[in-house]
Structure 1
Amino acid sequence: MDEQTRWIRLDGAVNVRDLGGLAAADGLTTRFGRVLRSDNLQDLTATDVRRLVGDLNLRHVVDLRSDPEVRLEGRGPLTREPAVSIHHLSLFAEGGVFTDVAADSIDADKVLPWQSRQDSGPESERSVGHYLGYLQDRPDSIVAALRVIGRSDGATLLHCAAGKDRTGVVCALALETVGVSREAIVADYAQTGERIERLLVRLRASPTYAADLDSRPADSHMPHAYIMEKFLSTVDERFGGVPDWLALHGWTGTDTGALRARLLS
C-alpha cells in the first residue's frame, strides 16, 4: 500500500484503498488498517486473499450489493475464509418489483434497482437523489455497517459493485461521524475518479452491469466532488447533520465512541 495515495494493489479489483491518513478535528487523523473500500470482490485471486487476510488483517466484509447482484455476480472467495465474517447489507429495499428476480434471469430494470429512480434533471441532482434514497430505504443497513466498523477486531472492507456510490456514501457517513473534515471526505469520494476507466472496463465485462453503463453518458460515471458536497449539505439541511440522522435510527453515543476509538489516532 502506498500511504501517500492509500491505494492497495490487487489483481482482482481495481478500486481498493485504505481510509487511513485523513485529517479530523483536534489534530487527529484516521488510522490505517481499520477501514478499506473496494469495488466487487468475486475476482480476487489467491494472492489477493492472502494479502487481505494475512498482511492487512481483514476480518469483516460489508457487502452493500443487492440480493440479485450477489446471486448473479457471486459472493467471492473471501466467503471461504474462516477468519473473515461477511455482512450482506443491501442499500436497496429488497423483495420489491425492482429487486426480486431469479438468479438465472438477467433483467437490467430489475437487477439494477437504482434504475427505478427519477432520471430527470442534472447529473448532480440524480446522484444526490440516489444517495438520499439509500438513507430512506435502508437506514438499518447503514447503521449496521457502521457498527461493524466500530466493533471490528481487525480491518473492515466495504464494497458494492464499483466501490463508488453505495460504498462512497457509507464511507462518507462513517468519516463524518468521527469528525473527519468535509474537505477530506469529499476528496476521498472523488479519488475513485483516478481509477474510473479501469473500473468501467471491469464492470462492462459483466452482463449484469454492461447495458446500464453503456446507456448513460461517460461523465455520469465520474464521482465529482460537487455530488458528495451536495449530498452532505442536503443531509445537514434536512436532518441537522449525519449524527442527528443516525440518532433517528437508533445510533447512540456509545456507537460513536466505539467508531471514534477504532478510526482515530
Structure 2
Amino acid sequence: MPWLGLEGAANARDVGGLPASDGRVTAERTLLRSDNLQGLTPADVKLLVDDYDLRTVVDLRSTHEVESEGPGPLRAVERVRHVHLSVLPERGEATDAAADALFTRREKALARYPDDPMCALYLGYLEDRPESVVGALRTIAESPGAALVHCAAGKDRTGVVVALSLTVAGVEREAVVADYAASGTRIEGIMARLRASPTYAPDLEERDDDDRHRPRAATMEAFLTQVDERYRGALTWLAKNGFDDTDAQRLREKLLA
C-alpha cells in the first residue's frame, strides 16, 4: 500500500497500482485519499503540491465540520482547488465520528441493511446526497493534476467515494475492498488525531474502543453487493443521477495508466 508518509495525517495514501479487469492498473499520483488535512506541516504541503502535483481537494465533511475546523494549510495554496461536497444530511452538527448518533436520529438507517450498520450508513450517502457523490466523481475526473479525497477519518465517506471511483474505472472488486480495508491498519493513529480535535472529541468521549471504528472488508463487500442488487450496479446508479457514459469514460481515462 503506497502510504504518503505525511507528518500531519494518519491515513493518507495513493490508490495507484490497483489492477483493473482490462489488464491495466490505476495510475500513480492521480487519486489520493486521506483523513483530515488540518494538521499538515509545510513539508507535507510541499510533498503534495510539488511531488504529487496536487491540484484538487474533494472535501466530504459536513458544513459544521468545515466551519468548526477552519481553513487548513492547503487553503493557502492558490493552485489547489477545494471542492466541498458533504455526503451527510446537513442537519445539526453531524460528523462521521458520530455515526452512532446518526443511526439513533434516523430510524430508517438500519432498516436499509440491518446486518451491517456501517453498510447501512454508506447506502444512506447514496440516498441522501447523490448529487455530492456524483459531484465528487466528476471533480476527480476533471482535475488537471492529482485529486485528493478526504473527510475526517478518511475511511467511511472517503472509502465510499474512492470505492465507487475505482469501480467505475474497472478495478477488480477484491482490490477495491482491500484498499478500503487498508485504513484499518492505521486506526489507532486516526482515532488519536480525532480525539485531539475539539470538533470530534465530544463524539468519542464514551467510545474509546478503536477496534469498533476499524473498517472491515466485509462491510465494503456488502455495500458493493447491495449497490449491485438495489441499483443494478454502480454505473447504473450513477447514470440515473446524472453521471453519464461520457463522465464514466473520462474518469476511467483519468485513473487508469
Please, what TM-score do these two structures have when normalized by structure 1?
0.89
Q: Distance in 2 between matches of 1:120 and 1:232?
A: 17
Structure-2 residue corresponding to 1:220: 212
**Does residue 1:237 correspond to 2:237, yes or no?**
no
For residues 134-179 of structure 1, the C-alpha deviation after alignment (integer angstroms, 9 at most, x for no partner) is 1011111111111111111100000000000000000000011111
Q: Which amino acid aligns with 1:48?
A: D
RMSD between superposed Cα atoms in Å: 2.3
For residues 190-246 of structure 1, the C-alpha deviation after alignment (integer angstroms, 9 at most, x for no partner) is 000111111111111113222323434433201000000001101111000100000
**Does residue 1:207 correspond to 2:203, yes or no?**
no
Equivalent residues in 2 for 1:42-53, closer than 5 Å: 42-53=38-49
SS of the residue 1:25 aligns to: coil
Structure-2 residue corresponding to 1:129: 120
* 1:99–1:113 contact (8 Å) kept in structure 2: no
Structure-2 residue corresponding to 1:28: 24
Q: Which amino acid aligns with 2:212?
A: S
Structure-1 residue corresponding to 2:57: 61
Structure-2 residue corresponding to 1:19: 15
Q: Distance in 2 between matches of 1:124 and 1:77?
A: 40
Q: Which amino acid aligns with 1:181?
A: E
SS of the residue 1:26 aligns to: coil
Q: Which amino acid aligns with 1:148?
A: T
* 2:103–2:110 contact (8 Å) kept in structure 1: no
Q: Distance in 2 between matches of 1:10 and 1:180?
A: 26
Q: Which amino acid aligns with 1:135?
A: L
For residues 27-49 of structure 1, the C-alpha deviation after alignment (integer angstroms, 9 at most, x for no partner) is 11100011000000011111111
For residues 90-124 of structure 1, the C-alpha deviation after alignment (integer angstroms, 9 at most, x for no partner) is 00122x3x349xxxxx9x979x7566345879996
Identify the match of residue 36 of structure 2 among 40, 43, 59.
40
Q: Which amino acid aligns with 1:167?
A: T
Identify the match of residue 93 of structure 1 among 59, 66, 89.
89
Decide whether aligned partners of structure 1 residues 109 and 31 sit closer, same or farther in structure 2, where only a CA change above 3 A counts.
closer
% of aligned pairs identical?
Answer: 52
* 1:62–1:89 contact (8 Å) kept in structure 2: yes
How many pairs align? Answer: 252
* 1:62–1:86 contact (8 Å) kept in structure 2: yes
Q: Distance in 2 between matches of 1:86 and 1:26?
A: 32
Q: Distance in 1 between matches of 2:206 and 2:103?
A: 13
Q: Which amino acid aligns with 2:202?
A: A
SS of the residue 1:257 aligns to: helix
User: After the TM superposition, which of the residue ranges 217-226 and 167-176 deviates more from structure 2?
Assistant: 217-226
Q: Distance in 2 between matches of 1:124 and 1:74?
A: 37
**Does residue 1:195 correspond to 2:186, yes or no?**
yes
Q: Which amino acid aligns with 1:49?
A: V
For residues 27-82 of structure 1, the C-alpha deviation after alignment (integer angstroms, 9 at most, x for no partner) is 11100011000000011111111111111100000000000001111230111111
**Does residue 1:77 correspond to 2:73, yes or no?**
yes
* 2:12–2:33 contact (8 Å) kept in structure 1: yes
Structure 2 unaligned blocks of 5 or more: none
Q: Distance in 2 between matches of 1:113 and 1:68?
A: 14
Structure 1 unaligned blocks of 5 or more: 101-105
Q: Distance in 2 between matches of 1:51 and 1:82?
A: 16
Q: Which amino acid aligns with 2:66?
A: V
